[in-house]
Amino acid sequence: MVERRPLLNLATHLLLALGLACLLLPLWLAFVAATQDVAGANAVPMRWLPGPYFLDNIAAAWTRADLGARFTTSLIVAVGVMAGKVLLAMLAAFAIVFFDWRAKAVVFWLVFVTLMLPLEVRIVPTYAVAANALRPFQAILDVTGLTGLVETLSGVRIALEWRMLNSYTGLILPLVATATGTFLYRQFFMTIPEELVEAARMDGAGPLRFLRDVLLPLSRTNMAALATIMFVYAWNQYLWPLLVTTEPQRSTVMVELSRLVPRGDGLPEWNIVMAAALTVMLPPLAVVVLMQRWFVRGLVATEK
């Protein structure tokens, strides 16, 4: 379309530049602080240009917060959650879309309703479950009287226990259920023409074979999109790791980062805290920048 508006174009640039400067300003200030010594970071008025201490501060943050070990933990958790979500979402959506199955509407709703139960609203009891993941089953046995029955019959008292606190299982498992991912896959699977399923059946492929040979390769882009979002999601988790890891040497980078800032009135060493904050932001940022295309697609698709 021919439209020459040099003035408006200039205004557009100015507005976008200004808007983004505001958006990115906090990050710039954090970076500047991370390049100062303690005095520089606390200087009034604030410094706007970087100083020479960036690597020193990163090194200090790295050792002080034991970031090497924390990064490993966070990486295992993020990859574990990501892989788990992608896999569970695919399997569940496959069952819901491609099977002639009475219960599928019920299962779909059971998964759907979890959208309305964010961790924040069921936090105390979820913690209790993480302390013993078999607690629900124990409770069912107790209430139905089976525990008592077995005890009188065999003399053995059933005490199911699976402590998940301070473990990778505890950090990962509660986060891998995914309504969003299941929807994304369901949405995609419903666009597969049904003749393709029929052709596969005529060719002699059973359901699992169809999943492996046809659906899996076809859903690669969806998988990449979902994986990107879920990695960012998992890496950035805070509340759950905070609760589940009671021992500092088990925690994730996010929890450790928050511990760098003193709770009381003491003045934090902002230069080191900012260096740590920037380091911790890096992995998800890298993922988003490198996978921008899939990331945007996934973000938009999960809400349809």
Partner 1 sequence: MSNTRRALFRSTWLPWALVLPQLLIIFVFFYWPTGEALYWAFTLEQPWGGGNAWVGWQNFVSVFSSAGYWHSVRISILYAVATTVLAIGVALLLALFVDREVKGSRGYRLAAIWPYAIAAPAIGIVFRFVFDPRSGVFAFLNQASPGMWDPTLNGNHAMTMLVLAGAWQLVSYNFVFLLAGLQSVPRALVEASAMDGAGPLRRMWDLQVPLLAPTLFFLAIINMTDSFTHSFALVDVMTSGGPARSTDLMVYKIYSDGFKGLDYSGAAAQSIVLMLLVVGMTFLQFRFVERKLHYK
Partner 2 sequence: MAAIVLDRVSKTYPGAARPSVDGVSLDLPEGAFVVVLGPSGCGKSTLLRMLAGLETITGGEARIAGRRVNELEPKDRGCAMVFQNYALYPHMSVAENIGYPLKVAGVPRAERAARVRAVAESLALSEHLARRPAQLSGGQRQRVAIGRAMVRAPRVFLFDEPLSNLDATLRVQMRAELRRLHEKLGATSLLVTHDQVEAMTLADILVVMQAGRVEQVGAPRAVYDRPETRFVAGFLGSPPMNLMPGRVAEGGAAVALENGPPVPLPGRLPEGLPVVLGIRPEHVAAGGPHTAVVEMVEDLGSGRVVHARMQGVPVVLHAPAEGRMQRGQALHLGLPAARLHVFEAESGRRREPEPLPATQAALAG
Task: Tell which positions 271-300 bind partner 1, by CB under 8 A.
Answer: 273-274, 277, 280-281, 284-285, 287-289, 292, 295-296, 299-300
Nearer to partner 1, 156 or 303 (CB): 303
Determine if 185 is a binding residue for partner 1 (CB under 8 A).
no
Nearest to 175 by CA among 125, 114, 94, 255: 114
Determine if 8 is a binding residue for partner 1 (CB under 8 A).
yes
Instruction: Give the one entry of partner 2, partner 1, none that residue 243 binds, where binding means its C-beta sits below a cut-off of 5 to 8 angstroms depending on kind.
Output: partner 1
| Least distance to partner 2, CB of residue 184, Å | 19
* Structure tokens given for 135: 């607690």
| Least distance to partner 1, CB of residue 155, Å | 25
Pick out residues in 18-47 that bind partner 1 (CB under 8 A). 19-20, 23-24, 26-27, 29-30, 33, 41-46
- The DSSP string of 8-42 is HHHHHHHHHHHHHHHHHHHHHHHHHHHTS-HHHHT
Instruction: Give the one entry of partner 1, partner 2, none that residue 261 binds, where binding means its C-beta sits below a cut-off of 5 to 8 angstroms depending on kind.
Output: partner 1
Rounded CA gap, 176 and 90, in Å? 12
- Torsions phi, psi of 242, nearest 5? -60, -40
Instruction: Give yes or no for a contact between 151 and 125, defined as CB atoms under 8 angstroms apart.
Output: no
Instruction: Give the one entry of partner 2, partner 1, none that residue 247 binds, where binding means its C-beta sits below a cut-off of 5 to 8 angstroms depending on kind.
Output: none
Nearer to partner 2, 161 or 213 (CB): 213
Nearer to partner 1, 250 or 279 (CB): 279
Instruction: Give yes or no for a contact between 77 and 168, defined as CB atoms under 8 angstroms apart.
Output: yes
User: Which residues of the chain form contacts with partner 2 (CB under 8 A)?
Assistant: 193, 195-196, 198-199, 201-205, 209, 213-214, 217-218
Instruction: Give yes or no for a contact between 234 and 78, defined as CB atoms under 8 angstroms apart.
Output: yes
| Least distance to partner 1, CB of residue 298, Å | 10
Of 58, 67, 86, 92, which one interacts with partner 1 (CB under 8 A)?
Answer: 92
Of 75, 76, 165, 197, which one interacts with partner 1 (CB under 8 A)?
Answer: 197
Instruction: Give the one entry of partner 2, partner 1, none that residue 212 binds, where binding means its C-beta sits below a cut-off of 5 to 8 angstroms depending on kind.
Output: none
Q: Which amino acid is at 8?
A: L
Determine if 232 is a binding residue for partner 1 (CB under 8 A).
yes
Dihedral sign from CA coordinates of 195, 197, 198, 200: positive
| Least distance to partner 2, CB of residue 98, Å | 14
Nearer to partner 2, 53 or 189 (CB): 189
> Collapsing DSSP states into helix, strand and coil, what is residue 150?
helix
Instruction: Give yes or no for a contact between 158 and 150, defined as CB atoms under 8 angstroms apart.
Output: yes
Q: Which amino acid is at 278?
A: L
* Structure tokens given for 281: 């932001």
Rg over alpha carbons for the chain, rounded to the nearest Å, is 25
